[in-house]
A and B are shown apart, each in its own frame.
Chain A
Amino acid sequence: MSNWYVYIDSETQGPFSDEKIKEMIQSGKITNEMNVMKEGTKEWLVAGAVPELQGKTAPSKKQSPSSSPSQSQPKEDFMKNVIDEEGLCPTCGYFTGSLLTCPRCGARVKNKIALSVVKKISIIGSFIGVIFLWLAAYYKQPTLIKVAEVDEQMNGAYVTIVGKVVSYNEDEGKDTLKMKIDDGSGQPIGVNAFKKLKQIKQLFGSDENMPAVGDLVQVTGVLNITDKFGVSMFLQIPERLQVTEKFQMKEIKIGDLKKENIDEIVKLKAHIISVSERTTKKGTKMYIINLGDETGRIGMTIFEAAFEKLPPETKELLTTVGTEFETAIRIGEYRGEFQATILDYTKIKKLGTVEISEAEAASASANSGSSGFSNGMSANVKSSDIGDLNESSVNNVYKVKAGIAKFAKRKTKKGKDMYSLKLTDKTGSINVTIFDGDYNSMSASVKKIIETEGNEIEVALKISEYNGRIQGGIADVNSIKKTGTFDLDKSEDGEEESPKYKKKQDASEDAPVKKIGELTLADKGKSVKIEGAEIKFVSSNDKGMNLTLGDDSGKIKIMIWENMIEKIPGLADVEKGASISGIFAVDAYNEKLQLKIKNPKSIKIE
C-alpha cells in the first residue's frame, strides 16, 4: 500500500490511498498526462507512465491518442542530435524551456527547483534592487571637490563645486547659461547649463536672486573632461545651482579709485559726460563713453559688436549725455588709466538726468576720454632715471626729471601734427612723442615750458617700445612741471637713438648663428642669427603675418606685427619658398618655440 499525490488544477492534492486514486482514475478525474508522486519519493511521474497505475488510467481527454510516451514510436536517430529532451514536456513532448508547466497539456513538467528559485529571485530581486538603487541615490551626497584635484579618470563624475562666479553669460537665444567659477584652487571651471536658462530664472524668481559675478555659489553637476577643451561641468538640473552667499558690491566714488581696485567689481553711480565714436586700425567701430560723478571721471569703451546686440532702450540710455545710472562695473586699466566695464547691460538702473555744463563736456571730448580721470593715479607714480628705463618698464608710467635737449614739430603720415621731445638726464636720454590732441589740451604756459630747449621738467611718462627703442609718451599733461634749467650739451644733437639702446643693438649684431633645429626652450629671450631659412608657409591676418620658416634641421613659426611689415623690404608680398636671413629673438608660446623680429634692418629676404 502506498499513498499518492496528484498535481491537479495547478495544485498538489492528496495524499490519496491506492484505492482512492484508482477510483479517481476510473472516474476520469485523473488522466494520462497528469503528474502523480508516490509518497516518500520526490519525483513527479506522469500517470500514464507509472506501471502500477498503467492500464487503469482513463483515456486522455485531449485529442491526442498517441500522446503517452509508451505509445510513441521509437525516435528516429537523426532527431537525437537535434532535439534536446531536457527542455521537453515529459508528457506530451512539447517544448517547455524555462516554464514550469507545459503550455500545451498543462502538465507540471518537473521539479525544476533551482530554476523556479532563480526565477523568483530575479523578479523579487529586481524590485528590491530598484528600490535599493533609488534609496542609494536619494541619500547620495555628491562629493565636494576642488577643481585642481580633477584628473582624467573623473570624466563623467557627479560632483559639487563651491566657488565664486568670475564670469557670467546668459544666452537668451540658446536658452543657455554659462558661468565660470573659481573655487580658489586653480583655474576657474566653466559651468554650462544648456537650454536651462529659462527654468533657472523661473526657479530663482527674480533677477536679483540669480547668481551674478562675485557671488559664492554651489553647483552640482557632471564633469566633462576632454583632451582638447579641458574640464567643464554640465549643469542639467536647475535646482542643483545654489547661491550660498550673495556678493555685496561696495559703492565707490570715481575719485576714490586706487590701483588696488583694479579687477574689482563695484557699484558705480555716475552720469554720462560725453559719448564719441572711434574707429580702430582694423576698422572696427567703438564707442568711447565718459562717465563722471562729483569726484572724477572714468572712461568706458564698448565695441560695436557688443553695442549692436543691446536692446534699443539700453543703446539710447548709453548714448544720451547726462543720463545718470547705477550699475555694476569691473575696474580695469588701459594705458595707465582706469577703465570701467559694465558687467551686465541688462542691469543698468536709470536714476535720472544731470545737466552737463558745456565746459565739462568740452574738456572731456578734447581729452578723448584719456585724461582728467587719471588724477587718481599720478600720486602713485614712481620716479625713475632715464638710464634705468628698459624693456621691463614698457607700459608703465614713470615720473622723470630731465632736461629738454630738443623740441621738434613733425607731421605724421596722415598729415597730423606731432611733436617730438628729447629728454636727457645724467643717465641717458629718451624721445617723447606728443600727439596734437595732447598738445592742444596743454595750457599756453605748459606749451612754452616744453618748447624751450634747456628747461628741466618733471613729467609722468608712459614708456613704450617702438621699433625696439624705448620711447616715452606723456601720461598726463597736467603733470608737466618746470623744475629748473638744464645745461645743454650740443654734442648729442642729432643723435637719434639713446646710447643705451645703441649698445644693445650692437650686441644683437653679434648674435650666434644657429640652425632652427638647434633652438631649445633654454634659448628663450636670446637673440640668434638665422641664415638662409626657407619660408615654408605664409598667412596674414589683421594683426600681421605668420610665417613658418624651415631649414634642413627643423621648422619654426614667426609672427610679424602689422607695423613691422613695411619696415622689412620685400616682406609684404613675400611668397612661399623665399629665403630669409637675419637676427631674431627667440620666444616661446605655450611651450612651443617661435621667433620674433629683433631688428627689422637685419632681416633680408631673397
Chain B
Amino acid sequence: MEGILVIAFSLLGTIAGGLLCLIPSLHIYNVAGIAIILWIELSNKIPYYTIGPFFMALMVSFAFINTIPMTFFSAADESAGASILPTTDMLKSGKGRDASVISGLGTFFGAVILVLLTPFVFYLAPYIYLPVRAHLHWIIGLILVFYVMSEWPKGAGRGKTPWAKFKNSWHNCFAGLLTFVLSSIIGLIITTKPLAPPEKSFQNIMPIFLGFFAFPSIIQAMMSEAKYPENQYNSKYLNCKWSDFGYGALPGTIGGLITAFIPAVTVGISAIFAGHITNHRNLRQASFEKPKNPNTAVHVHIPEIYYQQERVFLVAGGINKIIYYVGAFLFLFAITDLTPNGMGRGGMNILLKPIFSPERGDFAVMLATVFFTSSLSLLLLIYFTDWTIKIMPKINVRLVYGIVTVVLLVLLYVMGGGWMALGVAAATTCVGLIPVFFSCRRSHCMAVLLVPIALNMAGYGDAIARLLGLM
C-alpha cells in the first residue's frame, strides 16, 4: 500500500508540476507554495510519507518542463543565464525542438549522474560539507567579488581620451554595478525587517523574485517585435551525439554541485564558474594554416565541433539544473553519522521544513522517485515540446503574457500578502529591468539574497540594521 501511494503521489506531482511549469515565469517555488497550503489543509487525510515523493516529483518535473517556457517564450527566470543564449539562438534558426529536447536529455543524464553520485554523497560530501559550512560567508563573498569583477566592459572603448573610452565601454559595467548595489540594498532592507505579514512568510521571497525576473522578462517579451520563427516538430531525429553528454558532464556536475551546496547561488551564476573552470574549448581549435596563396589564409573551423559546443552547453545546463533543484533537495536525505540532519539546502528544503523532516533510509526511496519521475518528465517534455511548437504560431504571445501577468499579480496579492507584496514587486521590477535594457548580467539581481546571507552568516546582521536605521 505504501509503495502504491508513493508511486501515485509521485505521478501526481509530476503531472501537476509539468502542467504548471508550462506557464511562463511561474517558478516551482510558487507552485510548491500553493501545494504546501493545500498540504497543511489536508494533512490529516494524506499519509506523511508521501510528502517527500510528491514534492520531489514537483521539483523533477520543473527541472525538465521549465525548459519549454525558457526556450519558446524566452522567459528568463533566474536560472536562465545558463541556457538562455543558445536556446534563443537555436529557436531563431528553427531548432527549437532540438534545443528543448537536448536540454531535457541533459537533465535526464543529470538524474543518472545523481544516482552515480550516491557514494560520493554519503562518503565524501560530508567531509566537504562540514568543514566548509562554517566558511560559507566568505565563499559567497568570493563568488560575489569574482562575479562583480568579472563583468568586463562590453563596449569596444572607442574615443580619443581615456575618459571617452572609459565611458564608451563601461555602460554595461555601470548598469551591472547599479543593479548589484540596488539589489543588495533591497535584500538588506527586507532581511533586516521583513515586510511580509506573518501568515504569508513562507512565501516572502516570491514578490522579490517575480519582480526581479518574471516581470522584466514579460515586459521584454511584450516589447520585442521579433516574429516567432518557424520550427519543425514531430521529427524522428534529434541532432545530437553521445559525446555531447560526455563533454557536458563535467561542467554540469561541477556547476550543479556548487549551486546545490552554496546557499543563494543559482544555476546562472554557477554555470559561469563551472564554465570558467572547465572551459575546454581551446582544446578543439585548429591552428592557423600558413597561406598558400593570398586567398587561402583561413582559420579553419570544424562546424560539427562548434555546433557541439552549443549542445554541450545545453546538456551542461540541463545537468546543472537537476543537480541543483533536485540534488539539493535529495541531499537533505543523505543522513550519515556526520550529517544527522542531512545536507539539504535550497528553496524546497526551506519550504518543507515546517511540515516535514527526513529520516534515515529515505534516500533510496527518493532516488527511486527521482528516477521514475525523470523518465516520465522526459516523455512529457518531448510531447509538450511538439505540442508547443504546433500551437505557438497560432497563439498571440502578448495575450498569453497578459494573462500570465494577471495570474501572477493575483497570486502575489493572495499569497504574497496584499498591497505590500505588489509594492515590493513593483520596486524590484524596476531594478530587474536595468540588466534587461542596459545589457548586463541579470543574475546581479541575486545579490538580493547573496549579500544579506553572507553578511548574516558572518554575524553582521545587527550592524547592518543599525546602519540602515531599521531597528
A504 contacts B by Cβ under 8 Å: no
Which of A125-133, A250-258, A371-379, A512-520 participates in binding chain B?
A125-133
Q: Are A126 and B202 in contact (CB under 8 A)?
A: no
Q: Are B423 and A240 in contact (CB under 8 A)?
A: no
- Nearest-neighbour CB distance to chain B for A129, whole angstroms, equals 3
Interface size on A, residues (CB 8 A): 56
Q: Are A222 and B194 in contact (CB under 8 A)?
A: yes
The complex places the Cα of A138 from the Cα of B469 at a distance, in Å, of 8
Of all chain B residues, which has the CB nearest A141? B193
A305 contacts B by Cβ under 8 Å: no
A115 contacts B by Cβ under 8 Å: yes
* Given A153-B202, A158-B194: A123 touches B427 (CB 8 Å cut-off): no
The complex places the Cα of A107 from the Cα of B82 at a distance, in Å, of 34
Residue in A121, A155, A194 whose beta carbon sits within 8 Å of that of B350 in the complex = A155
Q: Are B427 and A140 in contact (CB under 8 A)?
A: no
Q: Are A129 and B226 in contact (CB under 8 A)?
A: no
Q: Are B468 and A153 in contact (CB under 8 A)?
A: no
Residue in B433, B461, B462 whose beta carbon sits within 8 Å of that of A118 in the complex = B433
Q: Are A155 and B201 in contact (CB under 8 A)?
A: yes
Q: Are B40 and A151 in contact (CB under 8 A)?
A: yes
The majority secondary structure among interface residues of chain B is helix
Q: Are B201 and A157 in contact (CB under 8 A)?
A: yes
Q: Are B462 and A129 in contact (CB under 8 A)?
A: no
Q: Are A133 and B355 in contact (CB under 8 A)?
A: no
The complex places the Cα of A145 from the Cα of B437 at a distance, in Å, of 43
Residue in A97, A133, A152, A223 whose beta carbon sits within 8 Å of that of B189 in the complex = A133
The complex places the Cα of A145 from the Cα of B182 at a distance, in Å, of 32
Q: Are B189 and A137 in contact (CB under 8 A)?
A: yes
B199 contacts A by Cβ under 8 Å: yes
List A contacts of B225 (CB < 8 A): 86
Q: Are A137 and B198 in contact (CB under 8 A)?
A: no
- Nearest-neighbour CB distance to chain A for B173, whole angstroms, equals 14
Residue in A119, A136, A151, A223 whose beta carbon sits within 8 Å of that of B423 in the complex = A136
* Given A122-B433, A126-B182, A134-B468: A81 touches B93 (CB 8 Å cut-off): yes
Q: Are A126 and B427 in contact (CB under 8 A)?
A: yes
The complex places the Cα of A195 from the Cα of B420 at a distance, in Å, of 32
Q: Are A156 and B194 in contact (CB under 8 A)?
A: yes
Which of A127, A143, A158 has the largest count of B CB atoms less than 10 A from its CB? A158
List A contacts of B199 (CB < 8 A): 151, 153-154, 157
Q: Are B465 and A152 in contact (CB under 8 A)?
A: no
The complex places the Cα of A223 from the Cα of B201 at a distance, in Å, of 9
Q: Are B195 and A130 in contact (CB under 8 A)?
A: no
Residue in B158, B200, B219 whose beta carbon sits within 8 Å of that of A103 in the complex = B158
Q: Are A154 and B186 in contact (CB under 8 A)?
A: no
* Given A137-B189, A153-B200: A130 touches B427 (CB 8 Å cut-off): yes
Of all chain A residues, which has the CB nearest B427? A129
Q: Are A133 and B427 in contact (CB under 8 A)?
A: yes
List A contacts of B465 (CB < 8 A): 236-237, 239
Name the interface residues of B400-457: CB closer than 8 Å to any CB of A. Answer: 420, 423-424, 426-431, 433-434, 436-439, 456
Q: 30 interchain pairs (CB within 8 A)? A: A86-B225, A98-B437, A103-B156, A122-B430, A122-B431, A125-B426, A125-B429, A126-B431, A132-B423, A132-B427, A133-B189, A133-B190, A133-B424, A137-B468, A137-B470, A140-B195, A153-B36, A153-B40, A153-B199, A153-B201, A153-B354, A154-B201, A156-B202, A157-B199, A158-B201, A159-B198, A195-B459, A196-B459, A228-B341, A239-B466
4 closest pairs, A vs B, by CB?
A129-B427, A125-B430, A122-B433, A157-B198
**Chain A contact residues, CB within 8 Å of chain B:** 81, 84, 86, 97-99, 103-104, 114-115, 118-119, 121-130, 132-134, 136-138, 140, 142-143, 145, 151-159, 194-196, 199, 222-223, 225-228, 236-240
